[in-house]
Amino acid sequence: MATTTLTEDMALRIGLAARTLPDTDPARLLRVLAELVGLPPSAERLATVRVKDLKQAGDGEFAHLDQSELRAALAILQGEGVEQPDPPPAVEPYAEGDMPDSIRVACASDHGEELDGHFGAARRFLVYQVSASEIRLIDVRTVDESQAGDDRNAYRAGLIADCQVLYVASIGGPAAAKVVKRDIHPIKDALGGPIRERLQALQGILAGKAPPWLAKVMGHAPEARVRFERDEAEA
Query: Which pLDDT tens digit goes with each residue over 194-225?
Result: 999 999 999 998 888 777 778 777 765 544 43
**Alpha carbons 17 and 29: distance in angstroms, whole number:** 8
For domain 8-77, give the CATH superfamily: Dinitrogenase iron-molybdenum cofactor, N-terminal (1.10.150.590)
The DSSP call for residue 110 is: S
- Which CATH number is 103-207 given? 3.30.420.130
**Alpha carbons 142 and 98: distance in angstroms, whole number:** 24
Amino acid at 6: L
- pTM greater than 0.85 (yes/no): no
Amino acid at 19: R
| Strands laid side by side in the 124-130 sheet | 135-142, 124-130, 103-109, 165-168, 185-188
**Alpha carbons 151 and 85: distance in angstroms, whole number:** 24
Parts of the chain with a pLDDT under 70: 1-4, 81-85, 219-235
Q: What is the pLDDT of residue 219?
A: 65
Q: Tally DSSP H helices, then E strands, for the chain.
A: 10, 7
**Closest by alpha carbon to 129, among 157, 168, 93?**
93
Domain ranges of the chain: 8-77, 103-207
**Alpha carbons 159 and 140: distance in angstroms, whole number:** 10
Q: What is the pLDDT of residue 85?
A: 62
Q: What is the pLDDT of residue 126?
A: 97
